[in-house]
Amino acid sequence: MKKNIILIISILLIISNPIFSQNMGWQKQSSGTSAKLNSVTSYSQTYTNDVWIVGDQGTILRNYQAFPFNCTQNLNKIKFNSAGYGFVVGDSGTIILDKYSGGILANFIRSNTTNNLRDIAFTNDDSTVIIVGDSGTILKSSVYNINFRIISGEKNYNLNSISFTHDGIGWAVGSNGTIIKSTDAGETWTNETSNTTDNLTEVNFFDKDNGWTSGDKGTILNTSDGGNEWRSSFSSLSTEFTGGYFSSNSLNSLIYNSNQFESYQRIYSLVSDSNGTNYFYYKLNNMGYGIKYLSENGLINNYAPPGNEQIFTDLKFNQGDTLFAVRNLPGIFYYPQKGSPPTPWIIFPDNTTKISSLDFDSLQNIWASGNKDSLYCITPSKNITYFESKPNIGKVRINKGYLYALVHNVDSTDVIWRYKIISSDSLGTPELFFSISEITANKAATIFDYAFDDSNLIICSNLSDVIDIIYPDKSFKSLLQNYYPAWNFGNIEEAYLTLGGKLEKGLYMAFNSLENPSSYQAYSRIIKISINPLVDLSGWLVGKNGEIITKAAGDTLWSKQLSGTNLNLNSINFIDDTSGVAVGDSGLILTTTNGGITEVKDRKYYYTQELMDYKLNQNYPNPFNPTTIINYSVPKSGLVTITVYDVLGREIAQLVNEQKNAGTYNIEFNADRLATGIYFYRMQAGSFVETKKLLLLK
């Protein structure tokens, strides 16, 4: 009896232990079918994400339930574009169109081929669909006027996967290491050298330069120069990879097109709450003004009702996620809650004072700029302190204890001044922080907007009408033209920036361009750009025998996850960075709500994996002042050197130069005697060599 009691208590302890929680890792989901499942994707037209799965024998599942449709062909892929048009492709040239993104599947679409079709991609602002398949088949059609043309066919290779950027640049991969590339939205294709003869089954590109492909025998290749060179990425597995997914946090993507929702609108501001929801001020058909926002599912929703008030020139959230606004009136307004009208928060005693911009410091003081070439500090108790400032002062921004103020000079060479915030109502001596002439060769230029991340000042100017990262190394990068070369950015009229909220990574830009200057026809877009696409990248690959591997953001190694099955997995998709679905043979569906992590076993695996390979981690913190920690691992005894260099390649310091046993180590780097700037640290151990960048900010 005593033994039985002990056994029952032990079982209860195991069940109650959070290490064995059924919410962790990958869990089986009932599918109600034994058919092979080949593709999974998600699309949200409401606040609920729809999960769609297709497979053999005409199987279609919506949210894990059978979706009735009269089809007997094997279905290989399903994808939706941003406007809700879904395509399903399968064997014997099967194409099915879903015009309603979760409503009613339309009839079969004529494909003009009997070859098996494998994958789908959208390009040209999602208005063009391109399909690939066996025997080199490539089909192309307008999404909104379906008529598929055969671009290519009857080749001696099969095409398994295709990926396009919004600007019409795309890649397709297939059998025998085939990689082909198009720069004209799929009309013509050229062969690329992959340096492998293995079957390639998946390709993903995030912009015109950075992409990954995977396939048989554990093959994983990546490129950072648009496919001119493909490099091998170590995975430690020899399985056949059949599907993959990469985190949307690393995508450079079009978020919103004004012609998708309204016939005419203009965006007047872009700002994020702490959860990274993006809000913008809009005008619609001369019916007044109001605030709308992009929800997490990509839909436009009302934040505040339209009214006849003037246009707000600046919007900001405080730490409590209350929205504040200014609009060239002698006061600051706020929205008590979503859906409420704007309410005066403070009215300046001098009715001739007009506030044009505001931001919050860490103490929740409001720093504002006004029409009298002035800066103001308004405490939470509404005490006002006045500071004389520079003529023609514009937007103010707070970053790391400094107040930055944009000044529009009469000679059209805009500058940004910096003030140290000494106390809650005191500023230090102003210093010139940045002049746009530094990157324009003294050409006349206007700064539309500017924003800060941890180490960069991002400028949006009318010089070439692009967004540029110009600090700290003063490099001149035409981000928009780089990611979207086919778009006309020569007529940008206004532009706004935000870096997202606490949970978001990447740069958001909203802009209004004049598509037809003669008729003053405006066009609005919102774009998300990852400033360092490969650094923030995370992803998952699935394959035969239940294999799932993942790569965390900022990591260069792939690690194995526990799937709990030996069945083949064929496709994987994530609704966000933690909630995912994988599908495979015999009706297998796996789901996760934590990115697939299984605490004890996965941690043990990661520790073993870490010591299986040489590894140089990113220093922390970065940026730093003046010390930072560098972590590295070695799998066996040997000589290890870690050296620091400046941007000219001169050796600054040697941190390690000795024999090290297998293990993980930390080394502190003290840069107290060095100047602010970019430096590099390089680790060499045997044949392993890796270099990373660190940033010193004093």
The CA-to-CA distance between both ends of the chain, in Å, stands at 70
Structure confidence at residue 478 (pLDDT): 57
Among 581, 564, 563, which residue's Cα sits nearest to residue 572?
581
Q: Which residue has the higher pLDDT, 500 or 339?
A: 339
Lowest mean pLDDT among 252-266, 334-348, 492-506: 252-266
Lowest mean pLDDT among 29-33, 154-158, 512-516, 558-562: 512-516
Q: Which residue has the higher pLDDT, 188 or 48?
A: 188
177 pLDDT more than 80: yes
367 pLDDT more than 70: yes
Q: Do domains 24-250+544-612 and 615-696 have the same CATH topology?
A: no
The CA distance from 243 to 249, in Å, is 19
Residue 174 main-chain phi, psi, to 5 deg: -165, -150
Residue 602 banded pLDDT, cuts 50, 70, 90? very low
**According to the per-residue pLDDT averaged within each range, which of 10-24, 120-134, 593-607 is highest?**
120-134
The CA distance from 162 to 119, in Å, is 6
340 pLDDT more than 80: yes
The CA distance from 370 to 389, in Å, is 10
Sorted by where each begins, the domain ranges of the chain are 24-250+544-612, 312-441, 615-696
Lowest mean pLDDT among 66-75, 373-382, 418-427: 418-427
Among 491, 512, 509, which residue's Cα sits nearest to residue 499?
509
Structure confidence at residue 137 (pLDDT): 97
Cβ atoms of residues 600 and 643 within 8 Å: no
43 pLDDT more than 80: no
322 pLDDT more than 60: yes
Residue 255 banded pLDDT, cuts 50, 70, 90? low
pTM: predicted TM-score of the whole model, two decimal places? 0.56
Structure confidence at residue 350 (pLDDT): 81
Among 569, 564, 562, 540, which residue's Cα sits nearest to residue 552?
540
User: DSSP class of residue 249?
Assistant: G
The CA distance from 320 to 360, in Å, is 11
Residue 147 banded pLDDT, cuts 50, 70, 90? very high
Using CA atoms, how far residue 293 sits from 132, 273, 343, 536, in Å, is 36, 11, 19, 25
Average confidence (pLDDT) over 349-376? 89
Question: Does 2.130.10.10 match the CATH number of domain 24-250+544-612?
Answer: yes
Long-range contacts of 301-310 (CB under 8 A, 24+ apart): 302/339, 303/279, 303/335, 303/338, 303/339, 304/335, 304/338, 304/339, 304/340, 304/341, 304/342, 305/339, 305/341, 307/341, 309/342
Instruction: Give residue-wise pLDDT tens across range 532-573.
Output: 443 345 688 999 999 998 876 555 567 788 899 999 999 999
The CA distance from 130 to 123, in Å, is 8
Cβ atoms of residues 319 and 305 within 8 Å: no
Q: Which residue has the higher pLDDT, 554 or 362?
A: 362
414 pLDDT more than 90: no
Lowest mean pLDDT among 180-194, 460-474, 499-513: 460-474
**According to the per-residue pLDDT averaged within each range, which of 7-16, 247-256, 511-520, 605-614 is highest?**
511-520
**Which of 2.120.10.30, 2.130.10.10, 3.40.50.620, 2.140.10.10 is the CATH number of 312-441?**
2.130.10.10
- Please report, rounded to a whole number, the percentage of residues in the chain having pLDDT higher than 90: 32
Q: Which residues contact 237 (CB under 8 A, 6 or more apart)?
A: 218, 543, 547, 549, 558, 560
Structure token digits, residue 639:
């000589």
State the chain's mean pLDDT as an integer. Answer: 79
User: DSSP class of residue 636?
Assistant: S
Residue 680 banded pLDDT, cuts 50, 70, 90? confident
Structure token digits, residue 621:
């913190």
Lowest mean pLDDT among 7-21, 320-334, 404-418, 683-697: 7-21
Q: Tokens 């430690």 — which residue?
A: 236
**DSSP H/E element including 28:** strand 27-28
Cβ atoms of residues 612 and 662 within 8 Å: no
Average confidence (pLDDT) over 238-247? 81
Structure token digits, residue 90:
């399968």
CATH class assigned to 615-696:
mainly beta
The CA distance from 88 to 96, in Å, is 5
The CA distance from 377 to 359, in Å, is 10
Sheet holding 231-232, edge to edge: 200-205, 211-215, 220-223, 231-232
Structure confidence at residue 82 (pLDDT): 72
**According to the per-residue pLDDT averaged within each range, which of 130-144, 479-493, 539-553, 587-601 is highest?**
130-144
Helix (H, G, I), strand (E, B) or coil at 344: strand
**According to the per-residue pLDDT averaged within each range, which of 5-19, 124-138, 302-316, 649-663 is highest?**
124-138
User: DSSP class of residue 321?
Assistant: -
